[in-house]
Amino acid sequence: MRSINKYVLPSAVSLITAMGVAAPAAQAFDFKVSGQVDRAVSVVDNGKNTDVGFVDNTGSNTRFRFTGDQMMSNGMKVGFDYEIGLGNNASASWDVKNSGNEQSTFLDNRQANIYLEGNFGRFTLGKVDGAANATSEVDYSGLTYLSGGVDFADYAGGLSFISKDGQVTSAKVGKVFNEFDALSRQNAIRYDSPTFNGTTLSASVDSGHAYELAARYATDFARGGKFAVAADYVDSQNQGEKYDPKKSLYVNGHRFREMGGSASLLLPSGIVFTVSGKHRDFVRYGKNSANNYFAGIGYVKGNNHFQVNYDRTDGAYMDGSKGNQYGLAYRRDWTKSIQLYASYHLYTASGLGTGVKDINQIYTGVRLKFM
């Protein structure tokens, strides 16, 4: 990977620079401002206490976005994407009887990149989705990020499991469960191929010599049916390591290798079948490997979206740990810009070193998008 960083990155940047300089603009720069506000209510019974949290939905947090693009005279397009999340009391951090972060504001620099697009595909440089981001989340139910789907830890990640004797444990939903969705957003250079017969190939080189590879396929068929699938391979390499001058080596690395994917089938009747599975091998993390399996059955009818789902994560918290999630979710598109959503989740866990009580959660909210 060091050779890739040394030779491929400068070459790609030089190519982008040369193309941009060689072609004058064919039209004025098109600029757009957009964003959303997404707030939710989380009602939780952790087996000892019941509490209510008024939170910002981490699944699709409150954000503002600035985008722009310009067509060049040679037919290529250059553009940028700058997006920042701004809110407080994130749902992935809130816990029962622990409202100390309600006044804290989070600032999430989600995207800050420029891209060049043409018949060769697309190169993107900057803060960007890693090539394999969202390969765990292919789902036509329309409920991913809005109380359903595989990323339920975004709604409940900060909830602590309570031991059988009533003590708060260090095991949280966000540690026991993990969808293993690659490396999320990264400072990177990313390439996406042109789509050929529904197939797109992607690759990115991220900070710390990490790299991500992904393949995606999507197709439509008779009377509104759809099918999509995504697969990835990720190696986090040196990401997260820090150099210790006393030992003359890098320490605290959490290197892992990941592979897997997800798929979703929308039938003409509106029934949706979704599955996701990921395997992660830990190279330096004090544990061996972990797996996540997700299955959902949904139904889409007009402005209504339903899903019942199940998730199982093994080995994410520690070797031998197991987590099970049972969920039921609904979304109503009130208008094109306003979505209402609600869900119920049951979280169970075992193999944590001590027995713990189940967690029950009702999660409901509204997302309002502008522009």
Q: What is the dihedral of CA 61, 317, 262, 124, to 10 degrees?
A: 50
**Span 231-257, average pLDDT:** 76
Q: Are 67 and 32 in contact (CB under 8 A)?
A: yes
Q: Are 322 and 313 in contact (CB under 8 A)?
A: yes
β strands within 236-358, DSSP E: 242-244, 249-251, 256-266, 271-282, 289-301, 304-314, 322-333, 338-350
Q: Are 114 and 80 in contact (CB under 8 A)?
A: yes
State which residues form the domain around 20.
Answer: 2-370
On the CB side of 172, CA atoms within 13 Å amount to 17
Total domains, the chain: 1
Read off the tokens for 56.
């910002």
Kindly report, residue by residue over 250-295, the tens digit of the pLDDT.
555 678 999 999 999 999 999 999 999 999 998 866 668 999 999 9
Q: What is the pTM of this model?
A: 0.90
Give whichever of 26-35, 136-145, 252-261 has the largest mean pLDDT.
Answer: 136-145
The pair phi, psi for residue 29, each rounded to 5°, is -70, 130
On the CB side of 371, CA atoms within 13 Å amount to 11
Q: What is the mean pLDDT of the chain?
A: 91
Q: Can you give the CATH number for the domain in which 350 is found?
A: 2.40.160.10
Helix (H, G, I), strand (E, B) or coil at 11: helix
**Span 24-38, average pLDDT:** 84
Kindly report, residue by residue over 197-217, the tens digit of the pLDDT.
999 999 999 999 999 999 999
Whether pLDDT at 43 is above 50: yes
The pair phi, psi for residue 20, each rounded to 5°, is -65, -40
**What does the alpha-carbon distance between residue 93 and residue 65 come to, in Å, rounded to a whole number?**
23
Under the banding of pLDDT at 50, 70 and 90, the label for residue 7 is: very low
